[in-house]
């Protein structure tokens, strides 16, 4: 493989793909500039690691495009002390970005093999002490550690799962893509006491959010 200056590519990603668009949260930009996206991808795809595009990571799953990671993270309006739940660990890249920004992340993945791979990478990068990993059905969230100040879902659901809304703290924000396979919309759902606000943000394309019965090797 040809030598690639990953640090320079990452800085270019932030300046060209993110700052020149609508990503203005300096903490998000700093996290995206620090986390080595290529390490969460197959080696044969490293030369494409900082392109603004999703990429396959196995098991019919993808690592999201950098802009979408930045957009969803910025939409959460995170504070350092926020309790964050991630549904869909996947490659672990979004998990690492979150771990750069908050004290602790709870992450749920339905595919054990993906979770173990992501966990290994996150441990090597020194993030594991800030992350609680769980194999489980993302539709039901992680009630044991609720409520959460922020929940991010990295797969498209048919509708907003009620369990995730109930696990939001007062003032909590949920960012989730809804609709599959076409016409997906990214939503932000905010709890304000007993009131639930729902905003449509932008169109998007994500892999579907699945149940255990949809994962043949689930264990």
pLDDT band at 101 (very low <50, low <70, confident <90, very high): very high
pLDDT at residue number 209: 83
3-state secondary structure at position 118 = helix
Q: Is 165 left (phi over 0), alpha (psi -120 to 50) or beta?
A: alpha
Q: Collapsing DSSP states into helix, strand and coil, what is residue 3?
A: coil
Q: Which of helix, strand or coil describes residue 129?
A: helix
Running DSSP on this structure, what letter comes out for residue 139? G
Contacts of 208 (CB under 8 A, 6+ apart): 155, 156, 180, 181
> What residue spans of 128-219 are helical by DSSP H?
162-166
- Model pLDDT for residues 7-28, shown as the tens digit of each residue: 999 999 999 999 999 999 999 9
Of all residues in the chain, the percent with pLDDT exceeding 70 is 94
What secondary structure, in 3-state letters, does 66-102 show? Answer: HHHHHHHHHHCCCCCCCEEEEECCCCCHHHHHHHHHC
Cα torsion angle, 106, 123, 100, 175, sign: negative
Q: Which residue has the higher pLDDT, 99 or 209?
A: 99
pTM of the model: 0.91
Six-digit token string for 94: 């979004």
What was the pLDDT predicted at 212? Answer: 52
Give the residue from 15, 66, 12, 18 showing the smallest Cα distance to 40. 66
- Evaluate if residue 57 carries a pLDDT over 80: yes
Partners of 175 in the β-ladder: 152, 188
217 pLDDT higher than 90 = no
CA distance 182 to 77: 27
Q: CA separation (Å) from 212 to 5, 16, 94, 158?
A: 40, 39, 22, 16
The residue-averaged pLDDT of 80-89 equals 96
Give mean pLDDT, residues 31-59.
Answer: 93
Is 90 exceeded by the pLDDT of residue 69? yes
81-99: average pLDDT: 96
Q: Report the CATH superfamily, name and number, of domain 6-214.
A: Vaccinia Virus protein VP39 (3.40.50.150)
What is the rounded distance in angstroms from the CA atom of residue 134 to the CA atom of residue 123?
Answer: 15
Question: Can you tell me the mean pLDDT for 84-89?
Answer: 96
User: Which residues are annotated as catalytic?
Assistant: 64
On the CB side of 163, CA atoms within 13 Å amount to 13
187: which 2 tokens? 């939503």
Residue-level pLDDT at 165: 96
* 206 and 199 Cβ atoms separated by less than 8 Å: no
pLDDT of residue 8: 94
């Amino acid at each position: 493989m040809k030598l690639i200056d990953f640090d320079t590519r990452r800085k270019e990603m932030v300046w060209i793909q993110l700052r020149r668009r609508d990503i203005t949260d300096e903490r998000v930009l700093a996290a995206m500039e620090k986390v080595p996206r290529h390490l969460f991808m197959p080696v044969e795809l490293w030369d494409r690691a900082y392109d603004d595009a999703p990429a396959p990571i196995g098991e019919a799953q993808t690592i999201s495009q950098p802009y979408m990671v930045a957009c969803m993270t910025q939409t959460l309006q995170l504070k350092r002390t926020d309790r964050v739940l991630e549904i869909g660990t996947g490659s672990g890249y979004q998990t690492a970005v979150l771990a750069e920004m908050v004290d602790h992340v709870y992450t749920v993945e339905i595919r054990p093999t993906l979770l173990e791979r992501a966990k290994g990478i996150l441990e090597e990068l020194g993030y594991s002490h800030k992350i609680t990993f769980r194999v489980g059905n993302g539709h039901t969230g992680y009630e044991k550690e609720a409520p959460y100040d922020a929940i991010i879902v990295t797969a498209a659901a048919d509708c907003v799962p009620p369990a995730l809304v109930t696990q939001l703290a007062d003032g909590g924000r949920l960012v989730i893509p809804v609709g599959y396979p076409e016409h997906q919309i990214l939503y932000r759902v905010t709890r304000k006491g007993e009131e639930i606000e729902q905003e449509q943000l932008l169109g998007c394309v994500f892999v579907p959010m699945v149940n255990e019965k949809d994962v043949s090797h689930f264990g």
